[in-house]
Amino acid sequence: ASRPFHPDNTTIEILGHVVGGDEPTIIAGPCSVESKEGLIEIAQAIKASGAHMLRGGAFKPRSSPYSFQGLGEEGLKYLAAAREATGLAVVSEIMEPGLVDLVIDYVDVLQIGARNMQNYALLKAVGKTNRPVLLKRGFSNTIEEWLMSAEYILSEGNPNVILCERGIRTFETYTRNTLDLNAIPVVQHLSHLPVLVDPSHGIGHSRYVTAMARAGVAAGAAGVIVEVHKKPEEAWSDGNQTITLEEFDRLAKQVRDTHRLV
């Protein structure tokens, strides 16, 4: 993952869009995949606002075992249907090595969540594929540990790793996490891999998400991944930090404008 080994920036082409290229990457969608119709409606709206990819969890890492755990394969099918309807690439989280063969049939980008950043068996399993991997930083992990996790994927032969800063735990409790903007220029100095920001998990309150999306891109991020829903207050998970389709339209414009200045 280190610069000296690979001086040029890595770029990753996904359905015609280049992550780490001239345009900022914009990924949006619900925290969890819910209904098929609802997902397609979100996908159509975000596409019209300029998104490149649709996100949505089918396997959800919930703090409580009694919370909604995701629709599983059914959710993957809805993602594939939304991809079919809109042409957007789809991004979804994978939590176990044994599910790689299943998930890879449906999604364009395999997301490794913060809680699994050091699930080494999982990292090795996705490293044995050549599918792009979105590797989120663990909320209590150092930059060094994060890059070592990327190394697990790269060293198995998969060069297509996209890093994602999604906020770390600090003493502050007003916000859900603290988006570590410092990590963006640091990672870009240390590594050739593209890095995105996730302001939704990074701050945890919808009203502040757009400001932190701009800040992430101003710090040099290659793009953003944000949680969006037609009715955030009815979302099955992470509704507090989820923005509306109208708010997303403004966010996407501001991300593009900010990226032009960097």
Contacts of 4 by beta carbon, 8 Å cutoff, 6+ apart: none
Nearer Cβ to ligand PEP (165/249): 165
CB-nearest residue to Mn ion? 31
The DSSP string of 178-213 is B--TTHHHHHHHHBSS-EEE-HHHHH--HHHHHHHH
**6 vs 230, which CB is nearer to ligand PEP?**
230
Nearer CB in complex with Mn ion: 127/138: 138
Whichever of 34 and 238 has its CB closer to Mn ion, that residue is 238
CB of 215 to ligand PEP, least distance (A): 17
Kindly give the pairing relationship between strand 53-55 and strand 25-29. Answer: parallel
CB of residue 167 to ligand PEP, shortest distance in Å: 8
Residues 146, 138 contacting (CB under 8 angstroms) = yes
Query: Could you give the maximum distance between any two Cα atoms of the chain, in Å?
Result: 47
Q: Which residue has the tokens 């920001």?
A: 197
Pick one of Mn ion, ligand PEP, none as the site partner of residue 113 (Cβ within 5 to 8 A by kind). Answer: ligand PEP
Q: How far is the CB of 260 from Mn ion (least distance, A)?
A: 29
Residue number with the shortest CB distance to ligand PEP? Answer: 113
Between 11 and 178, name the residue whose CB sits nearer to ligand PEP.
178
Paired with 90 in beta bridges are 54
CB 167 within 8 A of CB 176: yes
Which residue, 98, 88, 92, is CA-closest to 75?
Answer: 92
Q: What distance in Å separates the CA atoms of residue 149 and residue 182, rounded to the nearest whole number?
A: 19
Supply the minimum distance, in Å, between the C-beta of residue 238 and Mn ion: 4
Name the residues that contact Mn ion, by CB under 5 A. Answer: 31, 238
Find the shortest distance in angstroms from Cβ 115 to ligand PEP.
Answer: 6
CA distance 66 to 252: 34
Residue 57 per-residue DSSP state: B
**What is the rounded distance in angstroms from the CA atom of residue 146 to the CA atom of residue 169?**
15
What's the min distance (Å) between Cβ of 180 and ligand PEP?
12
Per partner kind, with CB cut-offs from 5 to 8 A, the member of ligand PEP, Mn ion, none near residue 114 is ligand PEP
> Which residue number, 160 or 237, has a Cβ lying nearer to Mn ion?
237
Partner in contact with 61, chosen from Mn ion, ligand PEP, none, beta carbon below 5 to 8 Å by kind: ligand PEP
Footprint of ligand PEP (CB under 6 A): 31, 57, 61, 113-115, 136, 166, 201
